[in-house]
């Protein structure tokens, strides 16, 4: 169980679910000209979650000092699992992920796609060892990587199969996937800043320069509130201009995305304690999940 907690198995499961939803709930349902068969999408998922798991491990290795302050009961590396064993596992998972990415890139005839896996793997290491300590850059980088875990399905499924005849339609599908990737980026960025406020004590002790340390908890909370309004306004815009003719989709977005987003903004505005920001972080996870599950609506409402 310690191993599963170390690699953040729930987060990895969500990545796998999202990639399956994009593949089968969206692209296959609408008859898009996809590239990967069942084995191919399985390889893509395995490559993605292997690199993500490696990123979680190296993050925990570098966060031992801060985690001992912020969440001592959840520290695994150095207690249940040795740092050496964790680092070796980090290397193995990276080799597996990048190796599978190399194989998959050649299967689809786009060897340049291999660079995506190398870049993601490298950025996760740089994020954990350096960027996480820098003002906002770390938050933005990790949110881009979360978005890439969604977008990479569109890259491998749609781009290799573009022809002059289907180019316009393939790009429409790709834009939908891109919209979901942007949604994932925004929600994760908000969550990262909320976590920085939650973890300010341990981060300060470790000498990190996160946003709440640089400008203070109150100012960061104000920025977080402003950012939390982006999903509220964005989802409202999407409902009015894209979903208004589909009653089921409108109800889904209103109840499971728009209303929770408003609630999160209210909670951010009133947040005072570490417990408040932990609650906000978990709520953002739920919004992310319900946002990705909305992919299933396309099959029944469009």
Q: What share of the chain in percent tops pLDDT 70?
A: 98
Per-residue pLDDT at 70: 74
**Per-residue pLDDT reduced to its tens digit, 130-148:** 888 888 899 999 999 999 9
pLDDT tier at 301 (50, 70, 90 boundaries)?
low
Short-list 130, 156, 157, 154, CA closest to 142: 130
Q: What is the DSSP annotation of the chain?
A: -HHHHHTTHHHHHHHHHHHHIIIIIIITTTT------HHHHHHHHHHHHHHHHHHHHHHHHHTHHHHHHH-GGG--BTTTB-HHHHHHHHHHHHHHHHHHHHHHHHHTT-GGGHHHHHHHHHHHHHHHHTGGGSTTHHHHHHHHHHHHHHHHHHHHHTGGG--TTTHHHHHHHHHHHHHHHHHHHHHHHHHHHHHHHHTHHHHHHTT---HHHHH-HHHHHHHHHHHHHHHHHHHHHHIIIIITT-HHHHHHHIIIIIHHHHHHHHHHHH--SHHHHHHHHHHHHHHHHHHHHGGGHHHHH-
Distances (CA, A) of 250 to 76, 240, 284, 289, 297: 43, 9, 20, 17, 10
Short-list 156, 94, 85, CA closest to 125: 94
C-alpha to C-alpha distance for 134 and 138, rounded to whole angstroms: 6
Q: What average pLDDT does the segment 6-20 reach?
A: 93
* Span between the terminal Cα atoms of the chain, in Å: 42
Q: Are 138 and 132 in contact (CB under 8 A)?
A: yes
pLDDT tier at 279 (50, 70, 90 boundaries)?
very high
C-alpha to C-alpha distance for 147 and 139, rounded to whole angstroms: 12
Q: What share of the chain in percent tops pLDDT 90?
A: 69
pLDDT at 181 over 80: yes
Retrieve residue 134's tokens: 């820098």
Per-residue pLDDT at 194: 95
pLDDT tier at 300 (50, 70, 90 boundaries)?
low
pLDDT tier at 206 (50, 70, 90 boundaries)?
confident
**Per-residue pLDDT reduced to its tens digit, 32-72:** 899 999 999 999 999 999 999 999 999 888 877 777 777 77
C-alpha to C-alpha distance for 56 and 233, rounded to whole angstroms: 32
Mean residue pLDDT of the chain comes to 91
pLDDT at 302 over 60: no
pLDDT at 209 over 90: no
Between 208 and 252, the more confident residue is 252
Per-residue pLDDT at 81: 84
**Minimum mean pLDDT among 2-11, 95-104, 184-193, 275-284: which range?**
2-11
Q: What average pLDDT does the segment 205-234 reach?
A: 92
pLDDT at 78 over 80: no
pLDDT at 296 over 80: yes
pLDDT at 192 over 60: yes
Cβ atoms within 10 Å, residue 277 = 26
Per-residue pLDDT at 7: 87
Between 296 and 105, the more confident residue is 105
Question: Which phi and psi (to 5°) does residue 221 adopt?
Answer: -65, -35
**Minimum mean pLDDT among 63-72, 91-100, 204-213, 221-230: which range?**
63-72
Asked whether the CA dihedral 4, 5, 10, 12 is positive or negative, the reply is negative
Retrieve residue 40's tokens: 């191919």
pLDDT at 251 over 90: yes
Between 1 and 96, the more confident residue is 96
């Amino acid at each position: 169980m310690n191993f599963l907690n170390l690699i953040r198995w729930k987060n990895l499961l969500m990545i796998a679910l999202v990639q399956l939803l994009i593949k089968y709930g969206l692209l296959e349902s609408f008859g898009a000209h996809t590239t990967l068969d069942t084995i191919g999408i399985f390889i893509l998922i395995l490559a993605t979650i292997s690199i993500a798991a490696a990123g979680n491990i190296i993050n925990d290795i570098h966060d031992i000092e801060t985690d001992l302050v912020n969440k001592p009961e959840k520290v695994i590396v150095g207690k249940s699992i040795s740092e050496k064993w964790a680092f070796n596992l980090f290397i193995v998972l990276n080799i597996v992920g990048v190796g599978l990415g190399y194989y998959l890139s050649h299967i689809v005839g786009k060897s340049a796609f291999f660079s995506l896996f190398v870049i993601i793997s490298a950025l996760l290491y740089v994020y954990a060892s350096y960027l996480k300590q820098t003002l906002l850059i770390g938050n933005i980088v990790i949110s881009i990587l979360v978005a890439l875990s969604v977008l990479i399905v569109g890259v491998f499924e749609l781009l290799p199969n573009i022809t002059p005849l289907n180019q316009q339609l393939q790009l429409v599908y790709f834009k939908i996937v891109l919209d979901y990737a942007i949604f994932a980026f925004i929600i994760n960025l908000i969550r990262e800043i909320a976590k920085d406020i939650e973890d300010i004590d341990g981060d300060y002790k470790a000498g990190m320069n996160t946003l709440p340390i640089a400008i203070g908890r109150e100012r960061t909370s104000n920025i977080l509130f402003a950012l939390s309004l982006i999903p509220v306004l964005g989802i409202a815009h999407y409902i009015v201009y894209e979903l208004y003719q589909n009653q089921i989709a409108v109800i889904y977005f209103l109840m499971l995305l728009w209303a929770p987003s408003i609630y999160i903004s209210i909670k951010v505005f009133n947040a005072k304690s570490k417990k408040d920001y932990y609650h906000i972080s978990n709520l953002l996870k739920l919004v992310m999940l319900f946002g990705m599950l909305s992919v299933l609506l396309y099959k029944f409402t469009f």
